[in-house]
Amino acid sequence: GRNAVHPDFIRGMLTTKIIVLAQRDRWEDHMRLYEALVSGAMVMSDPMTHWPHGLADGENIVVYHSWADLELKVLHYLSPANEEERVEIGRRGREAALRHQRPWQQAELLFLNDMSHINSYGLFNKPRQGG
């Protein structure tokens, strides 16, 4: 495992406008998603089977469905006319990651939620009150 982070990696994460992820099958919801979100850059990801709590396409992450779709969306969000929208999606992504995706928050979702609620994916997940 990794026990240190290279300064160039941190610098790159903090100066990038858009981070593109391709998380396939068993790598969905991997730590790279959360690293990207916490950076504050706008994160683009391919579709996932089950989205982590608090993430929504177009709100705090952008989902692409093909290479052509990815190219169109990257060009759209890099356009100076859409910079404010890109920055705001990145800000909301960072906020969502910090509000919902820390290990202790995941444990709360698992152990303290009312398990009678089923979300739109068919998973037990009652939205956290006040968060």
C-beta of residue 41 within 8 angstroms of C-beta of residue 35: no
Region 94-111: mean pLDDT is 70
pLDDT given for residue 102 in this prediction: 60
C-beta of residue 58 within 8 angstroms of C-beta of residue 48: no
Whether this model's pTM surpasses 0.75: no
- Higher pLDDT among residues 119 and 100, named by residue: 100
Query: Is pLDDT above 60 for 124?
Result: no
pLDDT given for residue 37 in this prediction: 92
C-beta of residue 104 within 8 angstroms of C-beta of residue 128: no
C-beta of residue 98 within 8 angstroms of C-beta of residue 38: yes
**pLDDT band per the 50, 70, 90 thresholds, residue 41:** very high
pLDDT given for residue 50 in this prediction: 74
pLDDT given for residue 118 in this prediction: 53
Tell me the backbone φ, ψ of residue 108, rounded to 5 degrees. -60, -45
